[in-house]
Every structure is written in structure tokens, then in C-alpha cells.
Amino acid sequence: MKNARCVIAVAALIAGVMPACAQTFPTRSLAILVPYAPGGPTDAAARIIGEHLAATFGQHVLIENVTGGSGVIATARVARASPDGHTLLLHQLAITANVSLFPKAPFDVEKDLAAVGLVNTSPMIIVGRKTLPANSAAELAAWMTEPGRHVKFADAGVGTLAHLCPALFAQAIGVEVDMIPYRGGTPAVADILAGHADLHCASPTARRSRSLVSV
């Protein structure tokens, strides 16, 4: 899993609405919902996009962080929104993973959302607490596979990239790890810095933690 991809989506437009609205869009403020905590890579991307949309359309753009539920809560909010293009969702690849992880979610990604486009790509890196005795992928794998080792991996919730990344890495080296869920990458990195957790899969925007290896 080398790259995280952010995509932006809106509530699915009903037939005939888009042509009617194209000449006047937007008619009011726009909202971009981010399923993760402020300060993380998805939030940062949303704020850059928001500034550009505000300058382009001359409308206020609200960035709203709707955390929890591994992104399901924010996605449901957008799926239920008026299908006029004024409520946007900025998500990453976890939106596709959630289809199988949460089959009873209160929305259908294909039917209730319309993709606007790819926003960016970013590598995922494994970062660790400062006292971690590993400086390479080989050393990290050796440390994680030591008998009796209980590795604490901070993640941003089930199904997020910060959860899928360590799950796949642990599977590749044949170990089990303790997953500790947070409401986003920022609080997860904060606990890495404080030494409360061992490892975290992060975007380079969370650059204050100790980078170990790109995965």
C-alpha cells in the first residue's frame, strides 16, 4: 500500500438537476465534510481545496470535521444531504474498504454518492515513538517478531488507511499487533510522540514523528 488517495464526492444528483443548476451553482455556501480529526492529511487537503473553491466561486466554504464510525458518520451525512452539489465529502481509499467492512451502513456508495474526482496521492510511512529500537524495515520486522512482543499500533479507526496499512504489514511479517483506534491521525501521532503507542501509519504531513520505512 504505497499511496493514499483522497477523493471528493457529493450526494448523488437526481436526474435533471445538474443541467438546471449548472448556470447558477453555487447559490449558497459550500460544506466539505472530512471524516477525520483536524490537522491530519485529509483535513489539510480539504482546507486547501476550500480556499480554492471560495476564491473561484465567491462563496464561503465550511470545512467540517465529522469524526467517528471509521468515516461512516460523515459519509452518511453527505449521502442524506440535498443532492445539489453544495455538500461535499473528502475521503480516501477507506471509503471503498467500508463497503465490505460495514455492509449495513445507511448508504450505498455507488447510488447515494457521485464522485467528483481524484484530489491527490501521498505515500504512507510507518512512524514510531522516539525510543523505538529500530532504524530500518529489517530491524523493525525483527523487533516486532521477538517472542512475547506486544506491539501497539495507533490507527484512525477500522477500515482507514492507518488501519489497513499496519494490518497488511503485520500480516506480511507474520505477527499479530494490538490496534488502538483514534478519531484521526493527529491524535494518533500525538500519542506516538508521547510514547503511549509504538507505531502508526501516517502521511508525510505528520512529519514530527520518527520515520522508519515507506510501505
Q: Tens digits of per-residue pLDDT, 58-80?
A: 999 999 999 988 889 999 999 99
**Superfamily classification of domain 3-122:** Bordetella uptake gene, domain 1 (3.40.190.150)
Q: Give CA–CA dist 13/180, Å, rounded.
A: 37
DSSP one-letter string for 167-215: HHHHHHHT---EEEE-SSHHHHHHHHHHTSSSEEEE-TTSTTSEEEEE-
pLDDT for 5 beyond 80: no
Spell out the SS3 assignment of 40-65.
CHHHHHHHHHHHHHHHHHCCCEEEEE
Q: What pLDDT is stored for residue 106 in this prediction?
A: 92
- Note the CATH architecture for domain 124-214: 3-Layer(aba) Sandwich (3.40)
- Pair 71, 159: CB distance under 8 Å: yes
Cis peptide leading into 133, omega within 30 of 0? no
Using DSSP's 3-state secondary structure scheme, residue 111 falls into helix
Boundaries of every domain in the chain: 3-122, 124-214
Q: Tens digits of per-residue pLDDT, 161-181?
A: 888 889 999 999 999 999 999
Pick from 92-106, 137-151, 197-211: least confident: 197-211
Same fold flag, 3-122 and 124-214: yes
Q: Which helix (H) or strand (E) holds 91?
A: strand 87-92
Name the residue with higher pLDDT: 75 or 19.
75
Name the residue with higher pLDDT: 182 or 215.
182
pTM (predicted TM-score): 0.68
Q: What pLDDT is stored for residue 164 in this prediction?
A: 86
